[in-house]
Amino acid sequence: MVFFKRTRRPARTRTKNQQEQNSTAQQKAPEQQNSINRLLSSSIEVNLKTLRNIFKNCSDVVTREFIFAQKEQIKLALIYTDGMVDKNLVGEQIMKTLALEVPMATEGSEITRANAFNFIKTRGLCTQQVKESSSLDEILNAVLYGDTVLLVDGHATALINSSKGWPTRAIEDSKTEIVVRGPRESFVETLRVNTAMIRRRIITPDLKVESMVLGEVTGTHIAVLYIKGIVNEKLVQEVKKRLSRIKIDGILESGYIEELIRDEPFSVFPTINHTDRPDRVAANLLEGRVAVIVDGTPVALTMPFFFIESIQSPDDYYENYFFTAAVRLLRLASLVIALTLPSLYVAIVSFHQEMLPTPLLLSIAAQREAVPFPVFAEALFMEIAFEIIRESGIRLPRPVGQAVSIVAALIIGQAAVEAGLVAGATIIVVALTAMASFTTYYSGSITFRLLRFPLMFLAASLGLFGLISGVILIVVHMASIRSFGVPYLDPVAPVVTEDLKDSLVRAPWWAMRKRPHLIAQNNTMREAAGMEPEPPRPQS
């Protein structure tokens, strides 16, 4: 199966921080590439020629040759990618030391061609991480991912200096998941910064950050995070197994991975959660979930995902729990409104007028008197108009934003009603639906945004019967799917009584003693008993 033409780098999955896997990967490499010699030669000229050949027309890869001189003139070469390295580090800590300081400062000891490599490795480099490698592939990957490779003449091993330092965006407020109370920061595009944000919250060696490289052309680095001891090992195995199946040319966003490893690929419902909030990821890890962070995107994936999480927000866990219960009920109601209100309106106004109280019916009838369309056409027209406004609101360039919103508000809010094209009641229904769809988690709400339209068709052709059938179909579908082996509607269907304490309501923290049962199967105890605050007892 040739799905793209690759020339140099072998397809492989590399786990960086585990040395065993590293060596197995290296063993595999020669098997895959037997035509070219994939190990370094001891002659720097040969090596440089090979590398130059490989990096031909890569104007950003810099090769810097210089002489490491005391008595013997030893030729050294630095190879790095311009823009991906910390230029100060390369200049000050590597070049300056090697070219000037070390030869001058070590007058007592003789540097020969034979001991030069060891000398440089032990005494000559001022970088934090140095690694030896003689594998050409490893060197290539290092160069391309911001490390600086040092070749020493006469040695078939290169020194890989960690010198990553590319410009990154500053950490900012979360743009998609806003909370009132709680941490503000959100992920950025750099993997290491993101893992650091998690690590800062979960300070334990049990937080495992396994690296993988996916995307055979892009070579995107991703990290699989979990907390050993809490997570179900089978879940980690399953996630890694699904990730290792991926053979694709490139991964530019976590959405690629989400679609490649998710359950129910044909469902409109998300079975993997995504978030740009480190605190949400940390909370998910503590519940025994697995997170996947992809380099180059501020959106992390967590799995498994329950539908009930759609109505949960990070600050639910920080705010008063009575308030949380009320807000979650409100979000559930909003979810129902976002899904069914327009179709309910269509069904009642065009089929079941007897369901309305007489004064309300008269009021709606009065508004609809001048409207020349059937109510379905009217509602559909307004829903589409709103979707257009919403979409243009996302895409439009900032400077013209105000103009567009004014026009939209005027057209929809006033002109359409005054012209008698649309009834006021329809506007209210559409506006309420639109606002309701924003109260819930975004990926959940886009599903309902989508499903609203088929339901409207059903309601317009079969009335309430159609609407109810549609809703039943949706619920049946939701009850039938799973996310990484966990039923999607857990803990509501099937009922997991213990987990209901964090579903529509949230128990206070001193009562949430256990983690979700179906995720953290082996280690569900979260906290000690009897932590409920109480007034001090009189000492007897």
Partner 1 sequence: MIKKIIGLCLAICLALPLGGCWSRKELNELTIVLAAGVDRAPGGNILLTVQIARPKSFSGGTKKSSGFQENNIWVISQTGETVMDAARYLETKVSRKLYWSHAVILVFGEQLAAQGLRQAINFFSRSPEFRETTWVFVARGKASDVINSHSQLESTSAQSVGNMARSGAGFPVKLKDLSMMLASYGTNPVLPRIELTPSGNPQGPGMQENIPEADGDNQKATQTHAEVTVTGTGVFKDDKLAGWLNLMETRGLLWLRNKMEQGEITINSLKDPGKHISVRVTGAKTKVEPFYDGNNVWFDVKIKMEGDLLEQQSSEKLTESKNYREIEQRVAKEIEQKTRNALDKAQHTYGVDIFSFGQAFHRKYKKDWPAMRNRWNEIFSEAGVSIQVEAKISKTGLTTNRLSIKK
Q: Which residues bind partner 1 (CB under 8 A)?
A: 266, 349-351, 353-354, 358-359, 361-369, 371, 374-375, 424, 457-458, 460-463
Amino acid at 11: A
Q: Say if residues 487 and 479 touch (Cβ distance below 8 Å).
A: yes
Q: Is the Cβ of residue 99 or residue 462 nearer to partner 1 in the bound state?
A: 462
Spatial CB neighbours of 314, under 8 Å, sequence gap ≥ 6: 177, 179, 182, 277, 279, 280, 283
Q: Give min distance, CB of 357 to partner 1, in A.
A: 9
Q: Is the Cβ of residue 159 or residue 380 nearer to partner 1 in the bound state?
A: 380
Q: Give min distance, CB of 319 to partner 1, in A.
A: 38
Q: Give min distance, CB of 364 to partner 1, in A.
A: 7
| DSSP track, 267-312 | -SS-SSEEES-HHHHHHHHHTT-EEEEETT-S-EEEES--GGGGG-
Q: Give min distance, CB of 424 to partner 1, in A.
A: 7
CA angle, 425 then 429 then 434, to 5°: 145
Q: Give min distance, CB of 477 to partner 1, in A.
A: 12
How far apart are alpha carbons 513 and 200 in whole angstroms? 24
For residue 503, give the nearest of 489, 486, 487 by alpha carbon.
489
Q: Is the Cβ of residue 33 or residue 363 nearer to partner 1 in the bound state?
A: 363
Q: Give min distance, CB of 7 to partner 1, in A.
A: 34
Phi, psi angles (nearest 5°) of residue 420: 75, 15
How far apart are alpha carbons 173 and 261 in whole angstroms? 29
Q: Is the Cβ of residue 125 or residue 344 nearer to partner 1 in the bound state?
A: 344
Q: Among positive and negative, which fits the CA dihedral 242, 244, 250, 251? A: positive
Q: Give min distance, CB of 335 to partner 1, in A.
A: 24
Q: Is 300 left (phi over 0), alpha (psi -120 to 50) or beta?
A: beta
Q: Is the Cβ of residue 385 or residue 462 nearer to partner 1 in the bound state?
A: 462
Q: Which two tokens stand for residue 319?
A: 């705010």
Q: Is the Cβ of residue 38 or residue 368 nearer to partner 1 in the bound state?
A: 368
Q: Which two tokens stand for residue 53?
A: 């050949």
How far apart are alpha carbons 496 and 488 in whole angstroms? 12
Q: Is the Cβ of residue 372 or residue 399 nearer to partner 1 in the bound state?
A: 372
How far apart are alpha carbons 447 and 185 in whole angstroms? 27
Spatial CB neighbours of 408, under 8 Å, sequence gap ≥ 6: 389, 392
For residue 340, give the nearest of 328, 352, 348 by alpha carbon.
348
Cβ count near 253 (within 10 Å): 14
| DSSP track, 154-173 | T-S-EEEE--B----PPP-B
Q: Is the Cβ of residue 57 or residue 358 nearer to partner 1 in the bound state?
A: 358
Q: Give min distance, CB of 421 to partner 1, in A.
A: 14
Q: Is the Cβ of residue 327 or residue 349 nearer to partner 1 in the bound state?
A: 349
For residue 114, give the nearest of 66, 72, 57, 85 by alpha carbon.
72
Q: Give min distance, CB of 532 to partner 1, in A.
A: 46
Q: Is the Cβ of residue 98 or residue 349 nearer to partner 1 in the bound state?
A: 349
For residue 224, give the nearest of 266, 262, 281, 144 by alpha carbon.
281
Q: Give min distance, CB of 475 to partner 1, in A.
A: 17
Q: Give min distance, CB of 226 to partner 1, in A.
A: 31
Q: Is the Cβ of residue 141 or residue 426 nearer to partner 1 in the bound state?
A: 426
Q: Is the Cβ of residue 26 or residue 350 nearer to partner 1 in the bound state?
A: 350
Q: Is the Cβ of residue 165 or residue 424 nearer to partner 1 in the bound state?
A: 424
How far apart are alpha carbons 378 and 422 in whole angstroms? 6
Cβ count near 435 (within 10 Å): 12
Q: Give min distance, CB of 250 to partner 1, in A.
A: 24
Q: Report CA-CA distances (Å) from 165 to 81, 82, 89, 95.
A: 11, 10, 9, 16
Q: Give min distance, CB of 412 to partner 1, in A.
A: 17
